[in-house]
Structures are given as C-alpha cells and as structure tokens.
C-alpha cells in the first residue's frame, strides 16, 4: 500500500517538473538557449493565478487560462527585449543574460509585493478517495490530467500545425528556414509564447497543489526542470515529459527509502551521471553537434 | 527569537572589544546607582528594524507594569525610572545600547533584548559591569550559558528555553493524550527544531512511550508527501513536528490529505496566522501547540493582566506582551528581596526565585539560569486558538 501511495506522490511531483521542462526544452530545441528565466515565468504565472482567484474572484479554469495567456505575453516580451539582439552572440552571453533576466524577475516581484509567502485559496475540492489502499486527492488527478492534456496539445501544435512545422524547420536549420520564407522571428516568439504559457499553467497547478507560493519559488523547480529536460534529451518534447516523471518518481523513492535529506542530491547525481554516460539524454540520438 | 545569530554576535563582540579598549579603564565596574529616590531600570529593546514587533510589544507591556508598580508605591518605596533604548534589531546596536545604559545612565538592571542574538550581544557588558540582565523572550540557551558551558552570572530569561518545549510536548502526549507511540518529523536545517526533537524523544521514551518513526525535512521544501507516507505506514498515535509555520502549514495539510488523522503537535514556531491560511482550518483540527501565554488563560493573574492591557492599548495581549510584563515583576520581586540596588545582591535574589506567581505561570530559576515554569497548550479548533491546558513544572 505504501508503495502505491509513494508512486502516486512521485507522479504528481513529476508532472509539475514535466510541465516546466516542456517549455525549457522547446526553447532550447529551437534557439539553443538555456532559458534560466523559465522558472521565474512559472513563479509569475503562479502569482497571476493567485491574484485572479483572490482579487477577481475567478474559478480555477479561468484563472489557469488567464495565467497562461499572460505568461505567453510575458515570455514574448522577455524574448523581444532580452534575447532577440543576442541571437548571433556567443552562447555564453545569452546564458548570462538569461541568469540576469531571472534575477530581475525574482527581485522585481519582491520589490512590487514583498517577499512574504502567500497561501493559495482552496479552489479545488480537497477531497481524496481510496485506491488500492492509497489516498489519491482530487488535486493529484487534476495535476496529472492537466499536464497530460497540455502535453498532447503541444504535440499536436508541433506536429500538425503550420507554426509547429515552422518551429521544426527553424530548429533544424535557421538559415535554410529563412531562405524558404519562414518568418524566423515570429516563429521564435511563438515558441516562447507556448513555452511560457506551459510554465504559467504549471505555476497555477503548483499553487493549488502545494498551497504556498513566494517570489523565489521558481528557483528549485526551474533547476529540477532543467535536469528533467537533460535527462529526457534536451530539445525533445516527449523526453521532457518522461524526464520530469522519472525525476519526480526517483526523488520520491529516495525519500521513501528514508533518505529524504538526499532528495535534491539525487536529482543532481542523475544530472551528473547522464552528462557523463549519455549526454544526449534518454531519447536523444548520439549525433555530433554541427560546427 | 529563535535563530541564533553567531555572525552578528561575533561582529558585535569584536566591536565591543574595540570599544572597551578605547574606553581604557575609565569605567568603574559595578557602579550602579546607590541611593537616590528612584530605581533606574534600562530597557534595551528592538523598537525599530526587522523584529520590531517583538520589541515594541514588550515595551508596551513594560510601560504598563512600571506604571502599575509606581502607582502602588514603587519598589521598597522607590519609584522606577524606566530608560528605554532602541537597539534597532541589530546586535552591534544592542551592545552600544547596553554600554550606554550601564556607563552613562548607571541603571540597576537591564530588561531585554527580545531576541536571543541581541541578548547575547549584551552578555559581556552585563558580566563586566555586574548589571543583572533579563531577556524576556530570548529562548536560545546561549543567552544564559556561554559556548564553553559556563553560566553567564548576570544574565537571566523570562521565557522557557527551546528544548523545554520538547519536554512539555512529551509530557502532554504521554500524560494528557495518553498515547503510547509517536513519530517525530523535524526540520533538519534548524537548531531550534533539532533541540526540540531531541528533548521530545528523550522524555517521551522516559515516560514509557515508543518512537515509531523519525523523519526529517529541510526548510524551503514543499513536498512532504513521501515522508508523511512513511510516517503513516508506521502507524503512530501522535506526531510531533517541531518547525516553523511556513513548512508546517504544508505538512499539516498534506498529512491530512494522506489520511493521517492522529493528533499533531508543534511548538511556538507554529504560532502565526499564516499557518491557518496554509494548512486550512479543517486540517488544523486536532493539532496542538505550546506557547508561553494565552489571553484565554482562566488564571486570575493572567485575566487581570489581560483586562488591564486591553484597557490601556485596546487590543488582546500576546505572549510577548505577557513576557515583557512578567520580566518587570520578576525584577521587582528580586530587588525587594535583595533590599538593595546592588547588582550582585539582585542577581543572587533572582537566582533564589522560587515559585513566583507571574502572568505566564509559576516561575523558578534553575542552576543554568533557565526558568522552570508553566507552559500553555493551545488547541486549534476550526482555525482559531483555544486554551487547552496549562502544564506546571
């Protein structure tokens, strides 16, 4: 019984990592930028959801959609202001800018509203029911189902729509895509919009599931999502999902074995091992990078 | 209040050495005011800065106590003259304030500071100038016992020390709730929580109980479900969770979601309105915390204080108010018994304090200058705190 419960705990945690990792991996896949500000977009999304529920009195789903829309816009603004002009700069310059943007968002939010934590309102039934002797809360089911729906939606966008086709083309070869008449700038903006919307959704779900939100809440999940993306193969969408779930389950198992203080360490040991033995991740093909 | 501030302590002690070296031998030790028709008492409190709410709460209650005592004729016929100094919630400022109080104002005794770190910053000055100092709410053992394990001769405290709360929780669990098995889930990143957990385990086992699970978390975690699942499968009748409200709120919520229905208990680190927001009122039912004071305490002395305080300030007193108030009466009692304003005599009188009736309960001092006193258990009922019982030493 205990193990079924632990598995459920792990999957719930993993779905949140997976949702954040999806945005991470998309941006990396298209413009090879490790967007360290992604975790902070997640935080902003969580606060937008919080204020739309408490101030505007919206329900869970309207708040989720509002937060996704606002984060999509926010992501595009970040890209246009901070990253666009660095597109041909060195990778390290873009990386350092991303770290700068991350700190700017974190401390900007602290400046506006202070650093004190906030308790998410109870918008979703707190009810839980028994399943094979384990307790499953409605919230766990909600997280998993929203994550799965968004992932399916994302796969659909990437593989079936024109924008998705353009994204794949830009990812494959930016120059050639440009020659074929694809508007690269708009495609990259669309990538940021979709990735940030997913982070916003993850923020609202996180708030509902874990109750406590604060301006620095994006830091650890952001790093964990990065690990998840690398684990699954950075740039690969199903890889991010699997990587997130695996990471969540592994962390839970480590705690379940009685090593709860080693939980974060386990995540980083996974990162180190994967970088040593399979740098392209679980789903990645071992190709040399173009020079 | 709880987190020790070794860095600032170090800074302030270096600063102090500098100041003392600068003063040379100008200051004569032990020159507190003798004679005159007032007794000067210094209050070195956090009136501004990060923890100003503690300091100002105590200052309000100290004012009230001094007014009452003066209206009733003072101490041994002498009125109290209160000299308040703001230490700006800063250890170096607390040291400076203590130097001012002892050398310029030549006070008989010092009340303060509210937090452990700012109290420790004054210890050396209190010792050197033989001025008794009582911290109303410094709960770290280092306020009265130095790093070397020796008791600081002139420092005392009104509040109980952190590990004592673990003892109270163990007694409450084994005697009041009559549980035989317990689990402990402690914050591994805080000395406060570790001290409480160790005291709880020792005393609960001594009372014949059995610890069936021991888990730990780290401050800033948000997911506690896997540890709580382990605790649940160990099937304890009681869970002790020393920690601070930010994490405890989530722990209580997640524990109830996982179907842990047994009583949960914590200490003063839980005491915040945010706890109720985080955990939810339902989840908090059947949880208990320890505090020094409850305005619902039916004891006549506590009731009288609560009424007087409400009349003067128009609000319910909190535990910092009560501790500040008690500190003045503790000092009054000692000065009366000493029959003198000599620092050493007052110190000896405080050390001999036995079963003194205060607002926060019966007060005695042990050989480490820690109080032996009553604690109050509060139960959460539908999100509000209800007085449950008072545990006397």
Q: Are B270 and B361 in contact (CB under 8 A)?
A: no
Closest residue by Cα to residue A189 from A45, A271, A79: A79
**Confidence band (pLDDT; 50, 70, 90) for A126?**
low
Q: How confident is the model at residue B10 (pLDDT cuts 50, 70, 90)?
A: low
Q: What pLDDT is recorded for position B184?
A: 96
Min Cα distance B223 → chain A (Å) is 7
pLDDT-based confidence at B157, cuts 50/70/90? very high
Residue B214 at interface with chain A, using a CB cutoff of 8 Å: no
The pLDDT tens digits for B279-301 are: 989 999 999 999 888 888 888 88
Handedness of CA B86, B121, B17, B7 (dihedral sign): negative
User: Does the beta-carbon distance from B277 to A119 stay under 8 Å?
Assistant: yes
**Could you tell me which chain B residue has the CA closest to the CA of A13?**
B223
Q: How many CB atoms lie within 10 A of CB A160?
A: 10
**Which residue on chain A is closest to B282 by alpha carbon?**
A126
Instruction: Tell me the mean pLDDT in the region A63-75.
Output: 96
Which DSSP letter does residue B145 get? B
Question: Of the candidates A245, A227, A157, which has an alpha carbon nearest to the alpha carbon of residue A195?
Answer: A157
Query: What percent of chain A has pLDDT above 70?
Result: 97
Cβ pair A9:B226 closer than 8 A: yes
**Which neighbouring-strand residues pair with B210?**
B181
Mean pLDDT of A52-81: 94
| Helix, strand or coil, per DSSP, at residue A267 | helix
Q: Does B274 touch chain A (CB under 8 A)?
A: yes
Residues B239, B206 contacting (CB under 8 angstroms): no
Going from the C-alpha of B284 to that of each of B184, B220, B249, B359, the distances in angstroms are: 17, 20, 9, 27
Closest CA to B297 of B313, B309, B311: B309
Residues of A with CB under 8 A from a CB of B: 1-2, 5-6, 9-10, 12-13, 117, 119, 122, 126, 128, 135, 137, 210-212, 217, 220, 251-253, 255-256, 258, 260-261
> What residues in B contact A217, CB-CB < 8 Å?
222
Residue of A nearest to B275 (CA): A119
Taking all residues of chain B, what is their mean pLDDT, rounded to a whole number? 87
A44 Cβ contact list (under 8 Å, min separation 6)? A70, A71, A74, A105, A109, A200, A203
Contact between A106 and A44 (Cβ < 8 Å): no
Say if residues A213 and A207 touch (Cβ distance below 8 Å). yes
B249 inside 8 A of chain A by CB: yes
Concatenating the DSSP letter of every residue in B165-210 gives HHHHHHHIIIIIS--SEEEEEEETT-HHHHHHHHHHHHHHHHTT-E
Q: Distance (Å) from the C-alpha of residue B255 to the closest C-alpha of chain A?
A: 11
Which residue in the block uniquely carries the two structure tokens 């074995």? A257
A48-62, A81-95, B9-23 — which one is most confidently predicted on average?
A48-62
Nearest to B216 among A13, A252, A261 (CB): A261
The first and second tokens of residue B144, run together, are 């009265």
* A53 or A137, which is more confident: A53
> What is the pLDDT, as a whole number, of residue A139?
79
Residue B283 near residue B252, CB atoms below 8 Å: yes
DSSP string of A57-120, one letter each residue: ---HHHHHHHHHHHHHHHHHHHIIIIIGGGTTS-HHHHHHHHHHHHHHHHHHHHHHH-S--EEP
H helix or E strand, kind and range, residue B96: helix B91-99
Whether residue B245 contacts residue B216, with contact meaning beta carbons closer than 8 Å, is answered with: no
Q: Are A213 and A46 in contact (CB under 8 A)?
A: yes
How far apart, in whole angstroms, are the C-alpha atoms of residue A172 and residue A164? 12
* Model pLDDT for residues A14-43, shown as the tens digit of each residue: 989 999 999 899 888 888 888 899 999 999
Q: Is the pLDDT of residue B112 over 90?
A: no
What residues of B are in contact with residue A6 (Cβ under 8 Å)? 226, 229
- For B387, phi then psi, to 5°, come to -65, 125
Distance CA A288, CA B116 (A): 59
Q: B215: distance to nearest CA of chain A, Å?
A: 8
* Residues A187-230: tens digit of each pLDDT: 999 999 999 999 999 999 999 888 899 999 999 999 999 999 99
Confidence at residue B29, expressed as pLDDT on a 0 to 100 scale? 40
In 3D space, the residue among B304, B305, B299 whose CA is nearest the CA of residue B391 turns out to be: B299
The alpha carbon dihedral of B196, B199, B205, B208 has a sign of negative
> How does pLDDT run across B31-46, given as a tens digit for each residue?
444 456 899 999 999 9
What pLDDT does A141 receive? Answer: 84
pLDDT-derived band at B48, boundaries 50, 70, 90? confident
Q: Do A117 and B217 count as a contact with CB atoms less than 8 A apart?
A: no
- Residue in the structure block whose two tokens are 């919009």: A193
Question: Which structure tokens are listed for B11?
Answer: 């800074």
Residue-wise pLDDT tens digits, B342-352: 999 999 999 99
- The pTM of the full predicted model, rounded to 2 decimals, is 0.79
Please say if the pLDDT value at position A289 is more than 60.
no
CB contact at 8 A, B61 and B322: yes
> E strand or H helix at B38, and its extent?
strand B38-45
Q: What is the mean pLDDT of residues A86-106?
A: 91
3-state class (DSSP) for residue A265: helix
B258/A212 Cβ within 8 A: no
Beta bridge pairs of residue B92: none
Interface test with A, best of B193, B225, B272 (most A CBs within 10 A): B225
B250/A260 Cβ within 8 A:
no
Question: Do residues A205 and A142 make contact, with C-beta atoms less than 8 angstroms apart?
Answer: yes
> Which residue of A7, A9, A264 to mutate against B (max B Cβ within 10 Å)?
A9
Residue to substitute from A11, A119, A244, interface B, most B β-carbons within 10 A: A119
Whole-number pLDDT of residue B93: 93
Q: Could you report the per-residue pLDDT of A162-185, keeping only the tens digit for each? A: 999 999 899 888 889 999 999 999
């Amino acid at each position: 019984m205990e193990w079924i419960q632990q598995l459920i705990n792990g999957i719930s945690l993993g779905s949140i990592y997976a949702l954040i990792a999806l945005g991470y991996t998309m941006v990396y896949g298209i413009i090879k930028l490790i967007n360290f500000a992604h975790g902070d977009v997640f935080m902003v999304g969580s606060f937008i959801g919080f204020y739309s529920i408490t101030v505007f009195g919206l329900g869970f789903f309207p708040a989720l959609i509002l937060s996704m829309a606002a984060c999509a816009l926010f992501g595009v603004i970040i890209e246009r202001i901070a990253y666009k002009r660095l597109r041909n700069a060195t990778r390290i310059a873009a990386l350092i800018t991303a770290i700068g943007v991350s700190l700017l968002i974190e401390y900007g939010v602290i400046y506006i509203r202070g650093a004190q934590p906030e308790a998410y309102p109870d918008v979703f039934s707190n009810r839980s029911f028994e399943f094979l002797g384990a307790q499953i809360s409605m919230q766990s089911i909600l997280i998993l189902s929203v994550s799965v729906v968004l992932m399916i939606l994302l796969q659909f966008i990437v593989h079936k729509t024109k924008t998705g086709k353009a994204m794949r083309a830009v990812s494959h070869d930016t120059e050639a895509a440009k020659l074929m008449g694809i508007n690269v700038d708009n495609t990259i903006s669309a990538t940021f919009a979709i990735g940030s919307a997913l982070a916003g959704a993850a923020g609202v779900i996180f708030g509902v599931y874990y109750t406590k939100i604060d301006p620095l809440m994006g830091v650890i999940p952001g790093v964990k999502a990065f690990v998840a993306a690398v684990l699954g193969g950075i740039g690969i969408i199903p890889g991010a999902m699997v990587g997130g779930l695996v990471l969540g389950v592994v962390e839970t198992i480590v705690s379940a074995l009685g090593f709860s203080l080693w939980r974060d360490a386990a995540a980083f040991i996974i990162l180190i091992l994967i970088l040593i033995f399979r740098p392209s991740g679980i789903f990645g093909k071992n190709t040399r990078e173009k020079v | 209040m709880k987190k020790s501030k070794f860095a600032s302590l170090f800074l302030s002690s270096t600063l102090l050495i500098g100041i003392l070296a600068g003063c040379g031998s100008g200051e004569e030790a032990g020159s507190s005011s003798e004679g005159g028709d007032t007794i000067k008492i210094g209050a070195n409190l956090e009136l501004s800065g990060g923890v100003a709410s503690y300091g100002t709460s105590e200052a309000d209650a100290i004012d009230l106590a001094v007014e009452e005592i003066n209206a009733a004729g003072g101490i041994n016929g002498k009125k109290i003259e209160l000299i308040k100094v703001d230490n700006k919630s800063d250890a170096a400022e607390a040291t400076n304030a203590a130097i001012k109080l002892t050398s310029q104002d030549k006070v008989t005794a010092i009340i303060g500071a509210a937090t452990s770190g700012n109290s420790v910053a004054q210890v050396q000055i209190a010792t050197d100038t033989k001025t008794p100092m009582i911290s109303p709410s410094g709960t770290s053992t280092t306020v009265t016992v130095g790093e070397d394990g020796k008791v600081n001769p002139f420092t005392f405290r009104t509040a109980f020390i952190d590990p004592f709360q673990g003892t109270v929780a163990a007694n409450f669990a084994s005697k009041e709730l009559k549980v035989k098995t317990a689990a402990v889930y402690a914050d591994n990143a805080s000395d406060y929580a570790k001290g409480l957990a160790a005291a709880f385990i020792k005393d609960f086992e001594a009372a014949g109980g059995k610890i069936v699970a021991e888990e730990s978390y780290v401050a800033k975690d948000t997911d506690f479900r896997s540890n709580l699942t382990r605790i649940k499968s160990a099937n304890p009748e009681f869970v002790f969770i020393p920690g601070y409200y930010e994490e405890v709120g989530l722990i209580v919520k997640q524990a109830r979601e996982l179907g842990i229905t047994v009583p949960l208990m914590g200490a003063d680190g839980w005491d915040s309105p945010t706890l109720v927001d985080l955990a939810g009122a339902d989840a908090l039912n059947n949880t208990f915390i320890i505090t020094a004071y409850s305005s619902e305490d039916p004891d006549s002395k506590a009731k009288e204080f609560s009424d007087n305080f409400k009349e003067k300030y128009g609000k319910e007193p909190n535990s910092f108010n009560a501790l500040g108030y008690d500190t003045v009466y503790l000092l009054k009692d000692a000065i009366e018994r000493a029959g003198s304003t000599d620092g050493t005599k007052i110190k000896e009188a405080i050390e001999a304090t036995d079963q003194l009736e205060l607002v926060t309960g019966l007060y005695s001092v042990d050989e480490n200058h820690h109080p032996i006193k009553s604690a109050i258990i509060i139960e959460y009922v539908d999100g509000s705190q209800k007085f449950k019982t008072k545990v006397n030493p």
